[in-house]
Chains A and B, each alone.
Chain A
Amino acid sequence: MSKFKKKTNEGQPAISTASLPDIVFMLLFFFMVVTVMRQNTLMVQNKLPYANQVEKLDKKDLVMYIYAGKPSPRYQQRFGTEARIQLNDKFASVSEVQQFIFAERETKREELIPYLTTALKVDVETNMGLVSDIKQELRKAEALKINYTTLQGDALRNME
């Protein structure tokens, strides 16, 4: 009668899944922290062009966004298929751009105003006429720092 009796074969013990929730929670917290909720709901089609000579926009709170492009399919019934400008959450005309810039400036601290940048998120298929109209308005509003938001990639892909 040995004390160390050879164990009878019980099969492999089940792998403990007790730490699975911990792992999943870790991933969950990661995604919760990195998620940025969209500020504006897009009402225009917004397929950005590609470019590789890009600069990064750091300070997110110092950026004003102007969107332009054809209205999304669900708005085409009401607004047609002509390219439009979107400011905040609604469609706007070219003449409202100046007002938008002034309103945005109001919300920022005075010493930060010179650092404000306007990011133009314009759909690839938009005509330059609309874009230059926006640029003229920005010049009138003295918002001279602009940034054409693009995706990283070869610029020649825009031509396809």
Chain B
Amino acid sequence: MARRAAQEVNAGSMADIAFLLLIFFLVTTTIETDSGISRKLPPWQPEEQEPPVIKQRNIFTVLVNRNNELLVEDEFMEIEELRQAAFEFLDNGGGTGDEACDFCQGPGDPSSSVNPQKAIISLVNNRGTEYGTYIAVQNELVAAYNQLRDREAQRMFGKSFTQMEKDYNDPNYTGNKDKLKDQIEVIKDMIPQKLSEAEPTS
């Protein structure tokens, strides 16, 4: 019997196989969400300590009840207004003498905060509050801080604070990173994020 020449393998179905695999990977791919609101928890303190004395005017209380309603400084408020209210509280600048705030543009209301270093936002939520609401409140409060930081960074360094942080974390940024870090620190010192969370009420 004559020996046949090796037949060539038909490659016409290769595209089909590759398509099959492609569709499998397309379907199974999940783009993981890896961004979120970063927070730092206070260290655990076993014994009860005397809370430091803070003037009432420097505390901005936000209460969230089990029906996801907000009580801000003893007044009912919609979440849409929270950012502006928090911003006005931080920017009030009602201090005099040593406590004066030299960059605040607020009206200097004597019943509101003296300066952003002293101002504390206190968040109390109920055990029945929904997590989504809690995140929304957190988001608005962080936004208020960022709004003020942006304004001051723009005034002092001609660049918004969020942009500065973005540049700092960008490996391709060509500018001077050390200088940028110092500037970020200056802003953070000027307007520290003082967000305190109390134990939830039940």
Contact = CB atoms under 8 A, between A and B. Distances in A.
A28 B22 contact: yes
B36 interface: yes
A57 B11 CA distance: 45
Contacts of A124: 130-132, 135
Contact of B136 (A27, A49, A129): A49
Given A127-B128, A159-B132, A139 B139 contact: no
Interface string B84-103: 00000000000000000000
Contacts of A27: 22
Interface stretch (A33-41, A71-79, A84-92, A99-107): A33-41
Given A24-B15, A129-B202, A36 B30 contact: yes
Contacts of B25: 28, 31-32, 35
Interface in B20-58: 21-22, 25-26, 28-30, 32-44
Contacts of B125: 128, 132
Contacts of B128: 127-129
A interface, by DSSP: helix, strand, loop or mixed?
mixed
Contacts of A17: 15
Nearest to B128: A127
A126 B131 contact: yes
Interface residues on A, range: 35 or more
A37 B39 CA distance: 27
A31 B22 CA distance: 7
Contact of B127 (A119, A132, A142): A132
Interface stretch (B2-10, B106-114, B140-148, B183-191): B140-148
A60 B33 CA distance: 11
Nearest to B199: A132
Nearest to B64: A128
B130 A127 contact: yes
Nearest to B66: A127
Interface string A122-160: 111111110110010011101011111111100110110
A56 interface: yes
| Among B14, B134, B146: residue with most chain A CB under 10 A | B134
A115 interface: no
Contacts of A123: 131
A17 B43 CA distance: 65
A159 B35 contact: no
Contacts of B130: 124-128, 158
Interface string B173-202: 000000000000000000000000001101
Of all A-B residue pairs in the complex, the 4 with the closest CB atoms, nearest first, are A129-B127, A158-B132, A124-B132, A31-B25
20 contacts: A20-B15, A31-B25, A35-B29, A36-B30, A36-B32, A38-B30, A48-B33, A51-B138, A52-B139, A57-B34, A127-B129, A128-B130, A129-B200, A132-B125, A132-B127, A142-B43, A145-B40, A149-B33, A151-B33, A156-B79
Given A155-B135, A158-B135, 15 more contacts: A17-B15, A49-B131, A50-B135, A55-B36, A55-B37, A127-B127, A127-B130, A127-B131, A140-B44, A144-B41, A145-B40, A148-B39, A148-B135, A150-B33, A152-B35
